Amino acid sequence: LRLETFLRRSIEKNEMFLNYQPQVEIDTGRLVGVEALVRWNHPELGLVPPARFIPLAEDSGFINQLGKWVLDEACRQMMRWQAQGLHVPKMAVNLSVKQFERGSIAGMVADILTETGLEPQRLQLEVTESVIMNTGDALGFINDLHAIGVGLAIDDFGTGYSSLAYLKQLPVQTLKIDRSFIKDISTDVNDEAIAIAIIQLGKSMQLSVIAEGVETEEQAAFLLRHGCKLAQGYFYSRPVLAQDMLERWTDPL
Ligand code: G
Ligand code: G
Ligand code: MN
Ligand code: NA
């Protein structure tokens, strides 16, 4: 309960910040985007893990405020990097199922894009399969988002009860292979089969596929061999501060 009280004031007290995890093209190492990951640094509690505060924010409704703050900050950061000489092609932002419960969120997203000046096609919203299956008018809301020009990715793909029939109707561009399938990709035949099936599915539906949680060169090589071109994970970079992105990815003059 105390945590919830603290959480409510976290934004006004400037305790929230974002980390960014690079997404890269496996064969060239080129930066294709980043995923924004929210962090909460409380003066007494220290860094509170998102696995603790996101569920709390979802239960209390604070996720709506937090989600808006994250989106705004992430879009602003794209413009700051641009001004500093770093072009990050895409910003991926996670959306919670709770953010869909109050109706269409496309208006909120459109307002933030207008205010920050970020081009819609440079924003990619990540939703999990549970958002799609558990939201009453998910298809309608996702179509609204598609209509304003933002990209959509299905996060943790393969872990929810995804309906492939549903996938066919959704205007999504990207599937993110959950990191649980990547972990033992070169040793577990089942994980290997699942990863390959997702890559094939993406290919036949003309979706881009990005592997999450890539930690080793072997995993990256396996993915490339099977036609997965994009990856994200500790092998490339942990989630880092905005400043660290500049240091690592800006081309020297
Ligand atoms: O680094 P990691 O511990 O950031 O993230 C843990 C979980 O928190 C992941 O499932 C991730 O999707 C979720 N998460 C991180 N940032 C956000 C965010 O801005 N919004 C939502 N809804 N979830 C987030
Ligand atoms: O649920 P979502 O996919 O949005 O969350 C991403 C989570 O995965 C974050 O907690 C992030 O810190 C974590 N993560 C990112 N790359 C790796 C990785 O290579 N290995 C592991 N174990 N976790 C990772
Ligand atoms: Mn994600
Ligand atoms: Na994931």
Structure confidence by residue, pLDDT tens digits, 145-200: 999 999 999 999 988 876 777 888 899 999 999 999 999 998 999 999 999 999 99
Which comes out higher in pLDDT, residue 122 or 101?
A: 122
pTM over 0.80: yes
pLDDT at 52: 97
Domains of the chain from N-terminus onward: 2-248 (3.20.20.450)
Predicted pLDDT at 224 = 98
pLDDT in tens, 218-242: 999 999 999 999 999 999 999 999 9
- Token readout for 122 is 């440079």
Position 166, amino acid: Y
Q: Is the pLDDT of residue 74 over 90?
A: yes
Pocket test for ligand 1, best of 54, 100, 128 (most atoms within 8 A of CB): 54
The residues whose Cβ lies within 5 A of ligand 3, an ion, are 94, 126, 155
Ligand 4 centre distance from Cα of residue 23 (Å): 13
Question: Quick one: tokens of 134?
Answer: 């558990």
Residue 21 CA, closest ligand 2 atom number: 15
Which residue has better confidence, 138 or 210? 210
Average pLDDT of the chain is 94
What is the CA angle 19-7-102, rounded to 5? 90
CA neighbor of 149 nearest in space, from 128, 181, 124: 124
Give the closest residue (by CA) to ligand 1 atom 4: 37
